[in-house]
Structure 1
Amino acid sequence: MARLIEIADPADPRLADYRDLRDVQLRRALEAEHGLFLAEGEKVVRRAVEGGFEARSFLMAPRWLDGLADVLDASDAPCYVLSEALAERVTGFHVHRGALASLHRRPDPSLESVIEGARFVLVLEDLVDHTNVGAAFRSGAALGVDAVLLSPRCADPLYRRAVKVGMGAVFSLPWTRVPDWYDALPTLAGHGFTSVALTLAPDAVPLEEAVAGLDRIALVLGSEGHGLTSRWEQSADRRAIIPMAAGIDSLNVAAAAAVACYVTARR
């Protein structure tokens, strides 16, 4: 059972994991150095723990304790209890989603273990916005994606903002970061996947046409600004587009991911 520890000093060193959450650069360095990530909100904290991630600690105001009592009972990690005003001073923002938890990261699984048995994988190349990554995970989890593959430069799906936007989908949807990005497409082809790249290339066909009749699909989306790199755009087995109304060339990548996952899952 988690140990309840009342905190009265916002400078208490035991709260270091939760300090200055608005500072993205600082948080990236701290979380990488200490191998941790944060979950925010009762549902997300619960999904993280149920997903097998070990808690380092919890932070919550007294009124939040009952909703996560079963999660706290199942953990040996300390639970720091403090007022909402004090929590805001520590974190730098209004903690309104019920609770926070600091959890241990796990090593990225191998590509082979993530795609084993999968028929539909979502591939994200260089998405740098945590909100878009979280939204893509949420759409993927809701619309039939079996796994997500990330390029080395993709934003961290375990960063607090990504986890929050994705409503904890990162804890239930298998994923990994692919270090050998240059040869990732040939590797996927070797495992029987047909790659379908969303792009505005001249030879792109409507997505519904591109995915028709395929068994194992790797649906590839590129960065927010420039889209896919030329290697991935040109090396994909098929290039596809989501047809737009006149005068509009494309959707935001998060919206495109949702539409593309819906169409692909119903091929």
Structure 2
Amino acid sequence: MPRRPYPWRVVIGVEDAADPRLADYVRLRDVDLRKSLEGERGLFVAEGEKVIRRAVSAGHPVRSVLTTAKWLDQLADVIGGVTVYVVSDEVMEGITGFQVHRGALASMERLPLPPVSGLLSGALPGARQPRRIVVLEDLVDHGNVGAIFRCAAALGVDAVILSPRCADPLYRRSVKVSMGAVFAIPYARMPDWHGGLAEIREAGFQLLALTPDQSAVPLDEVPLADRVALMLGSEGDGLSSHWLHEADHPVCIPMSRAAMDLGVDSLNVVAAAAIACHGLTRA
């Protein structure tokens, strides 16, 4: 296809999935490759019209857009002045390795993450001092991280803090699962796992460690302080013994006796996060 100028964008038809101009979009399911590529170039990929709009509204500049012809007019108001690569459905699947049901991908520039101290103090431009935060330790599944961001944003949590080894909230699957909630709630990544909770405590937060251990105090029975940090652990092992020891209170979501009799003694981390985040709103 020839290059076609428009008053508000440049549209370039591409017929080859291996075209080097599309390098931002290659092998989107290869986690290791994408971590390296996106880190090196300072980018992430937003999938679908709604997510692209939310990323743009959050201030992320658009590097380029990859789409099919039928989505051009629907995205016209958010991609002005941006290079748009238009491909067939077959070429799109050849580039990405999957069917892009929402019709469009955008390569977006990352913004610098704030320091944990700045996030907790409310010193960031346009931010308020958070009262309810979620702290994630070593969650490595991108879908789970995205889903927890969605729960946190929906249930009024003010911020999220990630341990050093947590999955990237801006990885494509995280963004997609969160439905763009990763752009709606501020977050920071602690540089030091071992001492990271001390900084949160020093900022005046009560540390609550969510555990499946039914001998812990039920979350809804713990008096909540003015500032509360809810700690959630990895998908398999839960919180480390170090973080459990650092907490002010280990707390649980009580399981019914019938569930326990059937061997159901815990919830997956996303379901637990949703219930616990709702519990934080009671005070």
Q: TM-score, normalised by structure 2?
A: 0.90
1:212-231 correspondence to structure 2 within 5 Å: 212-231=223-242
- SS at 1:182 equivalent: coil
Q: Does 1:174 align with 2:181?
A: no
What residue is the counterpart of 1:233 in the other structure? 244
Q: 1:7: Cα distance to partner?
A: 1.1
Q: Does 1:265 align with 2:265?
A: no
Q: 1:224: Cα distance to partner?
A: 0.6
**Equivalent pair of 2:212/2:253 in contact (CA under 8 Å):** no
Task: Measure the CA separation in 2 of the matches of 1:203 and 1:189.
Answer: 24
Q: Does 1:137 align with 2:149?
A: yes
Task: Measure the CA separation in 2 of the matches of 1:264 and 1:177.
Answer: 22
**Equivalent pair of 1:118/1:216 in contact (CA under 8 Å):** yes
Task: Measure the CA separation in 1 of the matches of 2:62 and 2:159.
Answer: 24
Higher gyration radius (CA):
2
Q: 1:77: Cα distance to partner?
A: 2.6
What residue is the counterpart of 2:99 in the other structure? 94
Task: Measure the CA separation in 2 of the matches of 1:9 and 1:201.
Answer: 54
- SS at 1:71 equivalent: coil
Q: RMSD in angstroms over aligned alpha carbons? A: 1.3
Q: Does 1:124 align with 2:129?
A: no
Q: 1:203: Cα distance to partner?
A: 5.1
The one-letter code of the counterpart of 1:61 is: T
Choose from 204, 208, 220 the match for 1:196: 208
**Equivalent pair of 1:203/1:239 in contact (CA under 8 Å):** no
Runs of 5+ unmatched residues, structure 1: none
Count of aligned pairs: 264
Task: Measure the CA separation in 2 of the matches of 1:234 and 1:3.
Answer: 57
CA displacement 1:57-85 (0-9 Å, x = unmatched): 10010111122111012xx3311111111
Q: Which moved more, 1:170-179 or 1:19-28?
A: 19-28
The one-letter code of the counterpart of 2:152 is: G
- SS at 1:123 equivalent: strand
- SS at 1:135 equivalent: helix
1:1-267 correspondence to structure 2 within 5 Å: 1-73=8-80, 76-115=81-120, 116=122, 117-201=129-213, 204-210=216-222, 212-246=223-257, 247=260, 248-267=264-283
**Equivalent pair of 2:65/2:82 in contact (CA under 8 Å):** yes
Runs of 5+ unmatched residues, structure 2: 1-7, 123-128
CA displacement 1:175-220 (0-9 Å, x = unmatched): 011012222222111111101110134751001112x342100000
Task: Measure the CA separation in 2 of the matches of 1:203 and 1:30.
Answer: 45
- SS at 1:109 equivalent: coil
Runs of 4+ in 1 over 2 A off after TM superposition: 200-203
Task: Measure the CA separation in 2 of the matches of 1:265 and 1:122.
Answer: 13
The one-letter code of the counterpart of 2:110 is: R
Task: Measure the CA separation in 2 of the matches of 1:200 and 1:80.
Answer: 48
> Quick one: percent identity of the two aligned structures?
57
**Equivalent pair of 2:214/2:254 in contact (CA under 8 Å):** no
Task: Measure the CA separation in 2 of the matches of 1:190 and 1:2.
Answer: 49
Task: Measure the CA separation in 2 of the matches of 1:201 and 1:244.
Answer: 10
Task: Measure the CA separation in 1 of the matches of 2:64 and 2:92.
Answer: 14
The structure whose RCO (Cα within 8 Å, separation 6+) is larger is 1
CA displacement 1:220-251 (0-9 Å, x = unmatched): 00001111111110110111000112322211
